[in-house]
Every structure is written in structure tokens, then in C-alpha cells.
Amino acid sequence: MAARTKGQAPLVELTSGSVEETRAFGERLGRLLRPGDVVALEGELGSGKTTLIQGIAQGMDRDPGTVKSPTFVLVREYPGAVPIVHVDGYRLEPPATAASLDVELLFAPHKVTLIEWAERFAGLLPEERLVIRMGHVSANRRRLSLAPSGERPQAIVRQMASTHGPAGD
Ligand SMILES: Nc1ncnc2c1ncn2[C@@H]1O[C@H](COP(=O)(O)OP(=O)(O)O)[C@@H](O)[C@H]1O
Ligand SMILES: [Mg+2]
């Protein structure tokens, strides 16, 4: 997986050439996540959001097989040392509003929250979050852009980039 850091901006772009690579990236990210962290995944159907979350769950010592797209439910929780809240906005009628959704229930300081279709929750997500935009490049290739918002997410991205080896143009 190739990593590239753009200038001074804490934005990292990667490509994944396979499901396994996306899972492995997620696993590495999962090992870095701490209680209270929020990861907001954006990108079209099939871009690999659920696959990435399976890797993150594995990195957080969960069986990745328990991670399924919540399809008909908005949220699932995977218990463990640090509980994982898996939110999927696929069925949300956009735009979601604070009135239609008890967003507060999705975030807790002792849990990690992972959100699919995060773009549908615009304005309702905590300011501090790690946004990951995903998209198709080809049948088996996906693009991932890491856009951290806030100090803690920036620290996570720095750690991710440093474990890639030298990042540069
Ligand atoms: N490099 C890759 N990373 C992730 N998924 C990939 C990749 N290449 C092919 N795929 C396929 O793309 C689909 C991704 O599905 P999924 O993770 O459920 O996406 P989403 O949750 O974004 O809809 C799966 O069918 C998977 O096999
Ligand atoms: Mg999904």
C-alpha cells in the first residue's frame, strides 16, 4: 500500500489493491484507536467501508466475522475491552437531523464509534473525528484519503503514516 503525505497538510492518501490489504490497513488503524475516537467513513456503495471496519475490529481484538453491514439497523455494538459502535447510514433518509436521530447515543467517551455513510450525518458528528474517504479505482483497487479533524485524529494519522515507512512525494 503506497502512502503519500501532501505537503504540510495532515492528509494521507493510500491505495489498496485487495480486500486483504484494506483489512490489514484497518487492523493497523484499529490497534491505534482509543476510547472516545470517532472514525467517519465516506464513499459510495462497495467502496470498502465495511471491509475496513472488519479490519479495525480485528485490530481491536474482535472477531472480524461478527462485523456485518447493519443494513436494516442504524447501529450495532460489538462488546469488548473498548466497545465498538458500528453505525451505518445506508438506510438514512438524507438529510439526517438532530431531531430525527438521537446522535448522542452513538458516541461515548469509553467507546470507539465507526460510521459508514458519514456524509449523511453532516453537522451531527463530533468536531474531532478521523474522516476516511473511500472510492473505487478499479475492480480490486480502492483509494483511501485520511482527513483528520482535531489533534487526536491528527496524531492517529501521523502514527499511521510513520508505520508506512518514509512518506513523501
Ligand atoms: N481493495 C479492496 N478493498 C475493499 N473491498 C474491495 C477491494 N477490492 C474489491 N473489493 C470488494 O468491494 C466490496 C466492498 O464491500 P463493502 O466493504 O461492503 O463496501 P461498503 O461498505 O463501502 O459498501 C466487496 O465486495 C469486496 O470484495
Ligand atoms: Mg457497508
Stretch 41-45: mean pLDDT = 97
Q: Does residue 63 carry a pLDDT above 90?
A: yes
Ligand 1 proximity of 19 Cβ (cutoff 6 Å): yes
pLDDT score of 69: 76
Atom of ligand 1 lying closest to residue 52 CA: 17
Q: How far is the CA of 168 from the centre of ligand 2 (A)?
A: 31
- How many angstroms separate the CA atoms of 45 and 31, rounded? 26
- The answer, yes or no, to whether any atom of ligand 1 lies below 6 A from the CB of 49, is yes
The protein residues having their C-beta less than 5 angstroms from ligand 2 (an ion) are 49-50, 69, 116
Compute, in angstroms, the gap from residue 62 CA to the centroid of ligand 2: 18
Q: Which of 105-119, 126-140, 155-169 has the lowest mean pLDDT?
A: 155-169
Q: Which residues of 97-117 are buried (b: 16+ CB within 10 A; e: fewer)?
A: eeeebebeebbeeebbbbbbb
pLDDT at site 11: 76
Q: What is the pLDDT of residue 153?
A: 97
- Shortest-distance Cα residue to atom 13 of ligand 1: 46
Q: Is the CB of 54 under 6 A from ligand 1?
A: no
| Set of cell numbers at residue 44 | 459510495
Q: What are phi and psi of 154, to 5 degrees?
A: -65, -40
Element (H, E) at 133: strand 129-138
CATH number (3.40.1440.60, 3.40.50.300, 3.40.50.2020, 3.40.50.150) of 11-162 reads 3.40.50.300
Tell me, what's the pLDDT at 149?
Answer: 96
Residue 163 has pLDDT above 70, yes or no: yes
- Grid coordinates representing 149 are 479533524
At residue 110, the pLDDT reads 97
Q: What is the pTM of this model?
A: 0.91
**Residue type (1 letter), 23:** R
DSSP state of 47: S
One DSSP character per residue, 77-117 reads EE-SSS-EEEEEGGG--SSP-TTT--GGGG--TTSEEEEET
